Structure 1
């Protein structure tokens, strides 16, 4: 599989899984949504804010614009849960159009950026892009565990379910 096709699959999965997760989170009352349930970013809200910061306000800008904003990974950039969900939906929708603009050889290159500590870094482009999508999967998994712990239904988010849905269409 060509790298472009692989990463477009991951971008579609990111949209699909984020939407399913946000639909499930919508059923959680405010107290549970903001409760410290032992996640790295404490609550469902804190973890969703981290996804917005990490994936969309930091990594997307590094890949799309070549800039490295200095943001705290635990910053609460959106206090309102509906606005946060909307920002996440909009953010995940931006990856596929960006990936489609890159020539095939871009995936064999490097991503030069500045770390959160201000240090210059240069990493393999494709592997670093894979990190972005893997990072989202990791934190969505944490949130599904929190949903279960809070007594709510947890959506099935395995990539294979998206692939099965697409194959049946």
Structure 2
């Protein structure tokens, strides 16, 4: 993708983290802990909900309608390995980027329920999606440490050196 947004990093970081979580003893993703989210699985479900909401909004659907229609229970629980989430996200992102060439459509008008309607460059929204993922991958890393397990290096520089 052209520009400063590296969507491949986002999918790599998610896939790397989810693969790491998959290697942990069964039930760790669902184990309840105190914090902003009650479990690693709850963070993943939130990440999935917001990734799909923003990406489908970029694709032309209404924010509120999409957010209400994304089935996090079914999708997140269906694949504890989280591979389905990564595959679905990559597929959707690739389709959307082809459809929304940044040269053809530099910005879209988005309506957010709390913040109103405003035009945003597509690259800005994708940057938000990546930043949001980074934030919540950090939540998961902290939760893993809280549960006595190591995280996995996901800083952007590790992606660049891979």
TM-score by length of 1: 0.76
Q: Tell me the matched-pair count.
A: 159
Q: How does 1:1-169 map to 2 (within 5 A)?
A: 4-7=2-5, 10-56=6-52, 58-68=53-63, 69-71=66-68, 76-78=73-75, 80=77, 82=79, 85-94=82-91, 95-106=93-104, 109-116=106-113, 119-165=116-162
SS of corresponding position for 1:32: coil
Q: CA deviation at 1:103?
A: 3.3
Question: For the Cα contact (< 8 Å) 1:11–1:92, is it kept in 2?
Answer: no
Which has the higher mean CA deviation after the structures are superposed, 154-163 or 20-29? 20-29
Inter-partner Cα distance in structure 2 for 1:48 and 1:67: 22
1:91 to 1:79, Cα distance in 2 relative to 1, 3 A:
closer
CA shift in 2, pair 1:35/1:133, >3 Å: same
Higher helix share: 1
Task: Return 5+ residue gaps in structure 1 as ranges.
Answer: none
Checking the alignment, whether the CA contact within 8 Å between 2:7 and 2:126 is kept in structure 1 is: no
Q: CA deviation at 1:77?
A: 4.4
**5+ long unaligned stretches in structure 2:** none
Which shifted more, 155-164 or 79-88? 79-88
- When the two chains are superposed, the root-mean-square deviation of aligned CA atoms in Å is 2.9
TM-score, normalised to structure 2's length? 0.79
